[in-house]
Amino acid sequence: MSGKVLKNARIFSGEKIVNNGYIEIKEGIITDWGEGPPPSGSSWDLEGRSVMAGIIDCHTHLLEFGALGAQKCRGEAQKLGGYANLTKALQAGITTLGEHFLGHPVLYQELDEYREIILNSPVNILLCLGWCVIGTDPLTFLSSHSPGRVIERKDITDQEIDWMAENSQFPGESIFINATVANLPPETVPHGGKEIFGFSEIKNLVGRFKEKNKNLGAHVEGERSIRNFIDAGGKVLHHGHGITRELMEEMKIKGVEWVITPHGGTSSPPTTPAEIAFALKIGLKPALASDSYLPVHPDASYLTKKALQGKEIGPGDFLHLIFNLSQELLGIGVEKEEILRMLTVYPARIMGIEKENGSIKVGKRADLIILQGLWGVEINDPEDIDIVIKDGEPIIDRL
């Protein structure tokens, strides 16, 4: 496909929808695009199919927790489980991931092994290192610096935080301001949501990341913890369940980014369509992310059919969830293009890759999806994605 022109395409560029357009690709890069017929050259007639930039899911756990949770792989099979999850992401039109390496109590895989997987994968993957706290009794501390074992809070030193900052490629949930419920039954995580860090501790962590020229992202829920994170200079809020409109307005003023996981991820009820609509109205530009693999919170059961409730949701199911969410958002006045930007343009900016990914512009990578309708707003089934293109070449082809 490199050196070819796609024509008669319905294109979402990242800014607008063009109903009859073309895209020229050379050596894996978009060299021209526009409305109407292409200026010259051989072309492939897409017969009105939709084309858009590949989806960017900037909060996932596919290579570590998902390898065991979704694929039941451990030991020497862990990498295979990770590759299986990456394949599912590609089949669902997700071409870029913000992946987390937080340490797992059973799975043992070092940073270099994750880098090897990333190097050999056709998916664009940026890796965030960190440590998490699971709200069991007693609390369970895990760290990417100590994979395969449970640690203690005293093991989380400034030197370890520095190592995580140095090796993180985007601001994910490097720290857990609140203990997570993970994917566990509620009765096994009685301390889910418990505040782990106070304001002064968060400020110290923000400062250590800044010394490495990095922004701090964190797993946060609850009004007090969100306020502490914002006031301490944190830059990327992951989840943010329990947020208020006042705090959203402060985030806008202080330039704090927001990664929304609309179907769960904390002990608190997830963000509602009305809250997302308000955030967009005041000029926040949040990303929507799957936190795959993640079960749907009971308060977000409207997002999925009964057969999926209680199950861990992966990339293909994320498409289904976003479709249901988009119908709610469209019903309260959010534009179709804005929903798509929360899946492409905005996560690219949060991850710092907006110059090469997230939209259709001259000079950007030709990471595209060709589909029967626009992702998550018109289709809800991966089978409606005809082709996934990476660097100008088809890597998933259902035609």
**Alpha-carbon dihedral sign for residues 360, 365, 370, 376:** negative
Q: Is 194 helix (H, G, I), strand (E, B) or coil?
A: coil
- Using pLDDT thresholds of 50, 70 and 90, give the confidence band for residue 278: very high
- 267: burial class by Cβ within 10 Å (0-12, 13-18, 19+)? buried
pLDDT tens, position by position, 11-68: 999 999 999 999 999 999 999 999 999 987 678 999 999 999 999 999 999 999 999 9
> Which residue in 327, 222, 314 sits closest to 276, CA to CA?
327
**Alpha-carbon dihedral sign for residues 74, 80, 81, 82:** positive
The overall longest dimension of the chain from CA atoms, in Å, is 67
Transcribe 43-94 into DSSP letters: EEE-TT-EEEEPEEEEEE-TTTHHHHHTT---GGGHHHHHHHHHHHHHHTTE
Crossing angle for the helix pair 315-331 and 273-281, nearest 10 degrees?
Answer: 70
Share of the chain above pLDDT 90, in %: 91
Residues 105-121, mean pLDDT to the nearest whole number: 94
Average pLDDT of the chain is 95
Residues 305-319, mean pLDDT to the nearest whole number: 85
Crossing angle for the helix pair 199-211 and 223-231, nearest 10 degrees?
Answer: 40
For residue 42, what pLDDT is reported? 73
For residue 265, what pLDDT is reported? 95
For residue 105, what pLDDT is reported? 94
Residue 258: enclosing H or E segment and its boundaries? Answer: strand 257-260
For residue 65, what pLDDT is reported? 95
Nearby residues of 375 by Cβ (< 8 Å), 6 or more positions away: 52, 55, 93, 319, 322, 340, 343, 369, 385
- 331: burial class by Cβ within 10 Å (0-12, 13-18, 19+)? exposed
> Which residue in 303, 314, 220 sits closest to 268, CA to CA?
220
For residue 311, what pLDDT is reported? 82
Residues 129-139, mean pLDDT to the nearest whole number: 96
More confident residue, 41 or 86: 86
For residue 372, what pLDDT is reported? 98
pLDDT for residue 1 is more than 90: no
CB 344 within 8 A of CB 358: yes
pLDDT tens, position by position, 354-398: 999 999 999 999 999 999 999 999 999 999 999 999 999 999 999
How many Å separate Cα 232 from the centre of its chain?
Answer: 24
Q: Is 271 helix (H, G, I), strand (E, B) or coil?
A: coil
Q: Where in the chain is the domain with CATH 3.20.20.140?
A: 55-351
Overall fold of domain 5-53+359-397: Urease, subunit C; domain 1 (2.30.40)
- Using pLDDT thresholds of 50, 70 and 90, give the confidence band for residue 309: confident
More confident residue, 11 or 294: 11
More confident residue, 39 or 189: 189
Q: What is the DSSP letter of 292?
A: B
- Using pLDDT thresholds of 50, 70 and 90, give the confidence band for residue 234: very high
Give backbone dihedrals phi and psi of 344, rounded to 5 degrees, phi first.
Answer: -135, -70
For residue 385, what pLDDT is reported? 98
Q: Where in the chain is the domain with CATH 2.30.40.10?
A: 5-53+359-397
Q: Give the CB-side neighbour count of residue 153, counting CA atoms within 13 A.
A: 9
CATH of domain 55-351: 3.20.20.140
Whole-structure pTM value:
0.97
Q: Is 218 helix (H, G, I), strand (E, B) or coil?
A: strand
pLDDT for residue 305 is more than 80: no
Edge-to-edge strands, sheet with 55-60: 55-60, 94-101, 124-129
For residue 148, what pLDDT is reported? 94
pLDDT tens, position by position, 315-357: 999 999 999 999 999 999 999 999 999 999 999 999 999 999 9
pLDDT tens, position by position, 235-277: 999 999 999 999 999 999 999 999 999 999 999 999 999 999 9
- What CA–CA distance (Å, rounded) separates 225 from 193? 10
- What CA–CA distance (Å, rounded) separates 347 from 289? 9
Residues 8-13, mean pLDDT to the nearest whole number: 98
For residue 3, what pLDDT is reported? 72
